[in-house]
Structure 1
Amino acid sequence: MGSRWEAEWKHSCATAALGRGGVSPADRGSCVGTRCVADLSGEVLDLEDDEDLEVFSKKASRASGRSVVHPPRSMVNQYRLEEDEGGVTTKDIFITVDHPESHVTAIETFIVYRVLTRTTRGDFDSSEYEVQRRYQDFLWLKGKLEEAHPTLIIHPLPEKFVMKGMVERFNEDFIETRRRALQTFLSKLAEHPLLSQSPQFKVFLTEQELTAHKKQGPNFLSRVGAAVRGVTFSVRGVRSRPEEFEAMQEYADHFGNKMASLDKITQRIVKEQKEYLEELSQYGPLYAQWADLETELTEPLRGVAGCLDLCGRETEEQLHHLTEVLEPTLHQYLLCADTLKTVLRRRDHIQAEFEAKNDALTSSSSSKKVDLETLKEEVACLEERVENANTALRGDWSRWGGSMRTDLRDSLVATAHKNVDYYEKCLAVWETFLLSQKTPPCQEEDGAHPTT
């Protein structure tokens, strides 16, 4: 099965890279052909996009934040490259996000992460880079990639913070969850056939300071103008959206609803498991204390206390799996649903702009030949832009669908295995206790036929 998914991924990557449009009806059906699925409503957590304020920590410390570029050395001895079944290397860049540190300034406290990159690519000057990045740097990278590739599906970043769990952003669990999500974001970019080649991505991984690069880009008035045009075309809409993109929109809506429901239920299960684990930690010691008072029941009471302690340990391990594997995966793809809708809106904006210019050209009564020629050039340019946007989205949609199915399948299968293992171990604990409490046959006979 792994080779089949690898083949699909390579095919979709080649399609996007070469600019050739098209997915087969079978592929399209697997990605967007779920129109008959029931619409499930689900609540999402309230979020707030603050600008720069990060995580406050009681363990605040000062650090220089300087990046380090390591000299080139052999990658063969320091990192094992992943290979597919045919023995061909499928990855040439590896990224680790770790070592979160609190930084304190006069106005804020924020978290800085170390981003360690190892690569065998020839266009990199070194085989290893180490830089310090904060959350707003990740936001900058994502914004630049969306600006350069508006109809590619970029894996989402974690939210700035969650309103309903705002207290959690003060503790180490939140920071660790954020770290893992940031690493997933960079790993997804590294696996992408086009985004991984982006100059902004390389700058993010290798440059010590991003200040100069952040100053580059469209000025304020240009950004305002683009925003106004986007709102105008959103209101105007498109007249003839291709059927395949209609299907994508419907799929994104259904997908978002289902992921919202699954994410909400999973969070509730995690909360209940935490409460159950807390009760087990109090339940076992009570049996142990009771055993000290009942001399004739000391052994079975202590046995129950031991069973509860063992079950508590297994429950803690299962809870760890839910919070480390299943819950993050579901939540990431809940955010992906919003990303899909945003990308489809960008595609519609491009088409709407083309339609507006084409209408202006058709109804133009200007006698100036220069104006007509200029308008024709703009229409031709926009027509090409629409086609490029459609081609990019087709290829990336197929690639994203394969990656999504693989991620969710792996997470669900791992959770199923973990649940089976958890219940089998708990069952074995209690069966062992029951066996220990059985009365030997000889004692039963002695009790039935007392000696005279």
Structure 2
Amino acid sequence: MEAKSELPSSSASPGCITPLDSALLSSLPMSPDTLRFDDDDDDEDDLEVFSKDTTLTDGNSFSPLVLTSPSSMTNQYKFEDETDVKDIFITVDEPESHITAIETFITYRIATKTTRSEFDSSEFEVRRRYQDFLWLKSRLEDAHPTLIIPPLPEKFIVKGMVERFNDEFIETRRKALHKFLNRIADHPTLTFNEDFKIFLTAQAWMLTSHKKQGPGLFSRMGQTIKAVASSVRGVKNRPEEFTDLVDYVDVFSQKLNVLDKVTQRIYKEEKDYCEELKEYGPIYTLWSASEEDLVDPMKGMAGSIDRCYRVTDTLSSKLSGDLIPIIHEYVLYSETLNLTEEIEKLEDKVECANNALKADWERWKQNMHCDLKLAFTDMADNRINHYEECLATWEAFLSSQTSDPQLDSKTDDQS
């Protein structure tokens, strides 16, 4: 298989990436034919819990988020083999905090609308916790070992427990869970999985009962395939097509991990800069109280800095909400690919599984190309808008000062 996609460089603002970062990026192996984005590729924690107090207040939890149905990036384009009409719509929203004697966790509302005949109704609404999503992912991996299963956000460990329940974390996880379910819904095979249907429609007790059932035939077959794949990891005479796939995944994983770390660092530095700007403006306002002749210029400085703070804060939020999640999602995807590619080593023993992986691999690459292109172009637009707004702010300040009648009169007196 000819891997033909090249990962473009990030459009981060100047000065954000250190020489060490650049050296680290350039030191990784990268052949021109390994990773390329071609413009021609356009063809392409939670049972349903009944809370003791269903109305959450800011005092004991967090304000429920009023959300619309955000569209998945995947839904913004179509493949040739996809139908024109989408027949299932899934929304993850309305997070709720639940506190029991032994644990504290969050549940999310899963709202589904569908026109599929295999569903008993056209609309469903259930609540699920993160553990339920983990169960679904595990069942999909067992039932479809040769397909690329969308990743879930990581489950934070105990030392991060404090951060698990702030608004930012909950909203970030909600978006990731929403994308996870919509990735499955958009997949031509996974979308018809029976466990997926049960996850979307079953009430709490039904889901609990279903979880207790033993693995089915396909699940056992998947476990067998994985076991055989593990036993042939030492195969040396692998097809050239598979070798290209492995090389692609290795380079892709390395580049995305570095890009993820650098982007996270840029975000942290920009947030710190934003906090400094927030405190910087009021200093001029306080200072103006003791400088009678400089009241207007100092208030102008304070206002300009405040406007720059606001646009910088917006830019930082977009970086956190748009670019970072998509990069991190594909970092998690690369970990999935490293496991899935082992199935390819079965070669003739499981030829149908081999073909299934190849087909899903091509579909995944098309999705990845579109997602990353969109994320990078959005970041570029956000940066341009940010700098234009800051430039306009400071130009307006300069214009107001050069036309200040007080300054003009003082200049005339001195002359």
TM range (shorter): 0.7 to 0.9
RMSD of equivalent CA atoms: 3.6
Quick one: structure 1 residues 290 and 231, their matched pair in 2 at CA, closer, same or farther if it must change by over 3 Å? farther
Q: Does 1:393 align with 2:357?
A: yes
Partner residue of 1:30? 4
Q: Does 1:415 align with 2:379?
A: yes
Partner residue of 1:148? 143
Q: 2:152 aligns with which of 153, 157, 172?
A: 157
Q: Does the CA contact (< 8 Å) of 1:84 and 1:90 recur in 2? A: no
User: How many angstroms apart in 2 are the aligned matches of 1:397 and 1:236?
Assistant: 20
Deviation at 1:89, TM superposition (A): 2.5
Look up the SS of the partner of 2:146 in the other structure: coil
Q: Does the CA contact (< 8 Å) of 1:259 and 1:333 recur in 2? A: yes
Partner residue of 2:256? 259
Partner residue of 1:40? 28
Deviation at 1:231, TM superposition (A): 8.7
Q: 2:331 aligns with which of 330, 334, 359?
A: 334
Deviation at 1:450, TM superposition (A): 8.9
Quick one: structure 1 residues 320 and 397, their matched pair in 2 at CA, closer, same or farther if it must change by over 3 Å? same
User: How many angstroms apart in 1 are the aligned matches of 2:305 and 2:116?
Assistant: 53
Instruction: Tell me which amino acid in the other structure corresponds to 2:360.
Output: D
Where do 1:288-327 residues align within 5 Å? 288-327=285-324
Partner residue of 1:403? 367
Deviations 1:325-381 (A, max 9, x none): 001011001101001111012333x45xxxxxxxxxxxxxxxxxxxxxxxxxxxxxx
User: How many angstroms apart in 1 are the aligned matches of 2:313 and 2:177?
Assistant: 25
User: How many angstroms apart in 2 are the aligned matches of 1:83 and 1:96?
Assistant: 19
Instruction: Tell me which amino acid in the other structure corresponds to 2:28.
Output: L
Deviation at 1:394, TM superposition (A): 0.7
Instruction: Tell me which amino acid in the other structure corresponds to 1:334.
Output: V
Look up the SS of the partner of 1:398 in the other structure: helix
Q: Does 1:169 align with 2:161?
A: no
Quick one: structure 1 residues 409 and 82, their matched pair in 2 at CA, closer, same or farther if it must change by over 3 Å? closer
Partner residue of 2:131? 136
User: How many angstroms apart in 2 are the aligned matches of 1:83 and 1:268?
Assistant: 31
Q: Does the CA contact (< 8 Å) of 2:3 and 2:248 recur in 1? A: no
Q: Does the CA contact (< 8 Å) of 2:288 and 2:299 recur in 1? A: yes
Partner residue of 1:436? 400
Q: 1:195 aligns with which of 190, 196, 200?
A: 190
Deviation at 1:410, TM superposition (A): 0.8
Partner residue of 2:60? none
Deviation at 1:239, TM superposition (A): 3.9
User: How many angstroms apart in 2 are the aligned matches of 1:447 and 1:106?
Assistant: 74
Deviations 1:196-225 (A, max 9, x none): 011111111111131121122349xx98x9
Look up the SS of the partner of 1:113 in the other structure: strand
Q: Does the CA contact (< 8 Å) of 2:145 and 2:226 recur in 1? A: no
Deviation at 1:165, TM superposition (A): 5.5
Q: Highest Rg: 1 or 2?
A: 1
Gaps of 5+ in 1: 1-24, 42-53, 65-77, 352-382
User: How many angstroms apart in 2 are the aligned matches of 1:63 and 1:342?
Assistant: 43
Where do 1:77-92 residues align within 5 Å? 89-92=84-87
Where do 1:58-77 residues align within 5 Å? 62=52
Partner residue of 2:41? none
Deviation at 1:90, TM superposition (A): 4.0
Quick one: structure 1 residues 232 and 125, their matched pair in 2 at CA, closer, same or farther if it must change by over 3 Å? closer
Quick one: structure 1 residues 217 and 242, their matched pair in 2 at CA, closer, same or farther if it must change by over 3 Å? farther
Deviation at 1:238, TM superposition (A): 2.1
User: How many angstroms apart in 2 are the aligned matches of 1:207 and 1:31?
Assistant: 41
Q: 2:208 aligns with which of 206, 211, 217?
A: 211
Q: Does 1:111 align with 2:106?
A: yes
Query: What is the count of residue pairs matched by the alignment?
Result: 357
Determine which structure has greater relative contact order: mean sequence separation of CA pairs < 8 Å that are 6+ residues apart, divided by chain length.
Answer: 1
Deviates more, 1:169-178 or 1:321-330: 169-178
Partner residue of 1:426? 390
**Percent identity over paired residues:** 49
Quick one: structure 1 residues 203 and 446, their matched pair in 2 at CA, closer, same or farther if it must change by over 3 Å? closer
Instruction: Tell me which amino acid in the other structure corresponds to 1:29.
Output: A
User: How many angstroms apart in 2 are the aligned matches of 1:317 and 1:264?
Assistant: 21
User: How many angstroms apart in 1 are the aligned matches of 2:223 and 2:370?
Assistant: 36
Deviation at 1:440, TM superposition (A): 7.0
Quick one: structure 1 residues 247 and 289, their matched pair in 2 at CA, closer, same or farther if it must change by over 3 Å? same
Quick one: structure 1 residues 305 and 173, their matched pair in 2 at CA, closer, same or farther if it must change by over 3 Å? same
User: How many angstroms apart in 2 are the aligned matches of 1:345 and 1:108?
Assistant: 38
User: How many angstroms apart in 1 are the aligned matches of 2:314 and 2:165?
Assistant: 24
Look up the SS of the partner of 1:293 in the other structure: coil
Q: Does the CA contact (< 8 Å) of 1:40 and 1:261 recur in 2? A: no
